[in-house]
Amino acid sequence: MKKSYKIIFLFFCFALCSSFVAHKFYVSVTQIDYVPNKKRIEITSRIFIDDFEKALTKKYKKKPNLTSTNELPEAEEWIKAYLKEKIKISINKKPQSIDYLAREVEGDVLIVYTKIAISKKINTFEIYNSLLTETFEEQQNIVHTNINGNKKSFLMTNTEFQEKIDY
């Protein structure tokens, strides 16, 4: 009798453990900092490379092979266009142009650097972030802001992808 309980217990443990392994966590992190002495907002987005590749492949119908020697020549333009579509910022109720600067790889994460030139005082800040939500229903986008010395953080999902801050 004890042996059958051990087998059931081990089977339950195996099933429980395998369900955790099979579940993937879909998340990106974007840091937004206002740097008044440079008259700009600096934006750093961290996105898992494999997830980003799936989104780009879905959108452009070709695998970009990011960060490999087989990366498609158009991959850089796809990244810029995708980010422009998925991250939008308005300052003082005016849409802003986000300039792409560069990207780098850290492990399995793609780090993308962008900026917004701004010389006026920031009274309102609105962010729209729907990165990867069209590809992964469980996608969560964490946004940290540091504007006018005020730090705020937001969790954005496929149903809640916009936030506004008044200063």
- pLDDT, one tens digit per residue, over 141-156 is 999 999 999 999 999 9
Average pLDDT of the residues in 37-49: 97
What does the alpha-carbon distance between residue 64 and residue 73 come to, in Å, rounded to a whole number? 8
Q: State the chain's mean pLDDT as an integer.
A: 89
| Residue type at position 119 | S
How far is Cα 60 from Cα 84, in angstroms, rounded to an integer?
15
The strand ranges marked E within 64-156 are 87-91, 94-95, 99-106, 109-117, 124-129, 140-147, 150-156
The confidence band for 24, taking pLDDT boundaries of 50, 70 and 90, is: confident
Mean pLDDT, residues 5-32: 62
pTM exceeds 0.95 for this model: no
* Residue 23 pLDDT exceeds 70: no
pLDDT band at 10 (very low <50, low <70, confident <90, very high): very low
3-state secondary structure of 38: helix
| Nearest Cα to Cα of residue 118 among 88, 146, 98 | 98
